Structure 1
Amino acid sequence: MSLADYPFSREAAARVKEAGYSLEGILAEPNREPRLSRLVRRRAKERVLGAVRGEIPEERTHPLAELLSYPLARVMVSCLDDDLLARRYALAEAKLASRKMAREDLPGLILLARDLEVDPRTDQEGLRVPFSDYLKAAARMKSPGWKLVNRSLEAGWVAVTGSELARLLEERARDRVARGLPLKVSPDVCEKLRPDLAEVVEELRERRAEERVDLGEVTEGAFPPCIRGFLAAVANGANLAHTARFALTTFLLAVGMNVDEVVGVFGRSPDFDEEKTRYQVEHIAGKGGTAYKPPSCATMATYGNCPGMDGLCRWVSHPLSYYEKKVKRDRGG
């Protein structure tokens, strides 16, 4: 296992400390290794921009720059002090680690697991993790297959496969990255990073400036998997989480449904209160002066509301973009 692959690990942090580099040294001009400093700043910005865009690209050219760029990226995120960015960044780092974990052998995964405070055991019974570690890591998992009642549990140990262990470690990595954000960063440091931060701020602005899509008649068959899942849950009498309810409401309004129609969608929810629901939908629709836009795919994933991608999801970054492309495709456009 390469430490540079998992810069959030404790071993990686120790390696950075041993290397003797400081934040001030990386940002100072000139410094003892100007080329390394440029690489670190470039990669740190790439990490944060990748988080905004939904995916941090992999870097294989300079292991030390990879290690040093992680704490600098956390500083950049902290300078901007944006809750959504912080959540998106933690998710993106975890997803990057997940792609690398897919290439690890089982001993490597177990080594990483122990760094992330998961203590797996492998013996003649197979691979297992303590149920307390399992519960912490699987807390955000929405699929029924992850519920403890649906798992093999014996003497306090939960049976998992190697790929399931990697998925659990992805969640633990996400928690590790998010821990402590935002950091306390001096204004002087943020000022030195201002050119890089300006690019991130602009990217954030563009990503948030989602426009309403006007496609005429609503085509339910073109809804993305997340919206179809929300609708199915509501139809089955389930209560949606607040973030999922907001996403569903804003999406339905954006594709042309009126307030009455959206209120009717929630009619089978066990906690349905028509007066309260109407007030909330009207508020989201803009009755108070501000019409809210549906969250992007990255935001949906950040809140655990993405059920998994289908083929078209991979080509879009927003549920409305999915809808627009699907409608045009189905209409032969």
Structure 2
Amino acid sequence: MVDVQDLARYPFLEEAQDYVRNESGTLDLILRSELGKSLLEHASRRVRDTLAQKNPEECGVYGRDAKEDIFTYVLARMLVSCINDRMLIERLSQFEARRAYSWFVREDRERMVRIAERVGIDLERPTLPVVAYVGLIGPLNDERWRLVNRRVENGHVSLLPEEMQELVEERIRAIIRERLPLIVPEEVCRILRPYTDEIAAALQQRALDEFGEVDESSFPPCIATLIKAVTAGTNLPHVGRFALTAFLHNIGLSTTQIVEVFQRAPDFDLSMTMYQVEHISGRAGTEYTAPSCATMRTHGLCVRRDEACEKVSHPLSYYKWKKKQNLYTVRKSSR
């Protein structure tokens, strides 16, 4: 893998990073040039495509050629790093991993083996160490990936050849995710502000499209319990306050509406609560996403699990699923 076309297909590889460093010259000059503006437009579209969850195979090249495509990957990572939103970073990691994987599965066997080796997976040996396997399957919800459903011998998990290939995509996603957010100088983020503002607006609109009007009857049991505790005048632990605030922000409640939820807490302090809510909501620059179900369990906040809890791995996923079920029930009863 030595040509520019290969580096555009797998821009997370070290060779691609070296190529950019050798070709780019001074970053500030690139960003302020006409070419830089064009590349930023393509990079911004690349990020917005991740939010729209477009099929990477249908998005084509970002730029006029493979060389520009590599640069837009670098700039896209800078854009999401300046915004520093966890959900956006996850979406970009997934999008870029799917994009690379779509090329990977079209390679001949020899090249597939070589590419897989570069991300730490040996396709010639269909097993993985338990620790490596568990680290990869965390985001995968399919029951077949659960360790209890796998054959384990001598500390290694046995896998079918096609399953090894599937895990290459997950390993690529993990590599991209581990390297984000980048440390981007504040001055550079200021230059990128017109583009990051546009992406942030798209991110907010995406949240509205995904969650719609707030429906308390669709809240997962853990969140409903936290709200009930606050309403009853119970002091929540810090992680409980964080989880509740992040969840309510993620589904579209304003800062004022979230503060109102905490007003009945015995230790309610308006200025402190406003500060905490604004911080979690992204006023300080980093917008937080509600903790996953696994994190909620770790902190003892996963309570009153119901049948729907078994279908999801995140409180926000529960909320979206339950809203769809409630809407279906309403429509069916109105017929």
Q: Same fold (TM over 0.5)?
A: yes
Pair 1:162–1:104, CA change in 2 (3 A): farther
- Secondary structure of 2:120's counterpart equals coil
**Do 1:213 and 1:324's aligned partners in 2 also have CA atoms closer than 8 Å?**
no
Aligned length: 260
In structure 1, what is the equivalent of residue 8 of structure 2? 4
- CA distance in 2 between counterparts of 1:91 and 1:196 reads 21
Q: CA deviation at 1:72?
A: 0.9
In 1, the alpha carbon distance for the partners of 2:310 and 2:17 equals: 31
Pair 1:251–1:279, CA change in 2 (3 A):
closer
Partner of 2:75: 72
Contact 1:251 1:293 survives alignment (8 Å): no
Aligned residue type for 2:82: C
Q: In the aligned structure 2, how far is the partner of 1:281 from the partner of 1:16?
A: 49
User: How far did 1:42 drift?
Assistant: 2.3
Shift of 1:165: 2.0
Moved segments of 4+, more than 6 Å:
284-291, 302-308
More deviation in 8-17 or 99-108? 99-108
- The normalised TM-score by structure 1 is 0.61
Report deviation, 1:74. 1.1
Partner residue of 1:280? 226
Aligned partners of 1:55 and 1:287: how far apart in 2? Answer: 45
Partner residue in 1 for 2:182 = 183
**Structure 1 unaligned blocks of 5 or more:** 215-249, 254-261, 267-276
After TM superposition, the structure 1 stretch with the greater mean CA deviation from structure 2, 10-19 or 41-50, is 10-19
TM-score, scaled to structure 2? 0.61
Does the CA contact (< 8 Å) of 1:120 and 1:130 recur in 2? no
Instruction: Specify which of 17, 25, 28 is matched with residue 24 of structure 1.
Output: 28
Contact kept? 2:31, 2:37, Cα under 8 Å: no
1:66 positional shift: 1.5
Q: How far apart in 2 are the matches of 1:120 and 1:192?
A: 43
Q: 1:68 to 1:321 in 2, by over 3 A?
A: farther
Contact 2:93 2:176 in 1 (8 A): yes
Quick one: distance in 2 between partners of 1:100 and 1:142? 24
Contact 1:10 1:115 in 2 (8 A): no
Higher mean C-alpha deviation, range 142-151 or range 72-81: 142-151
Q: Distance in 2 between matches of 1:49 and 1:22?
A: 26
Distance 1:22 1:306 in 2: 51
User: Does 2:100 align with 1:97?
Assistant: yes
In structure 2, what is the equivalent of residue 41 of structure 1? 40
Over the aligned positions, Cα root-mean-square deviation in angstroms equals 4.2
CA 1:319–1:17: 2 relative to 1, 3 Å: same
Give 3-state SS (helix, strand or coil) of 1:85's partner. Answer: helix
| Pair 323,149 (structure 1): closer, same or farther in 2 beyond 3 Å | closer
Percent same amino acid among aligned pairs?
26
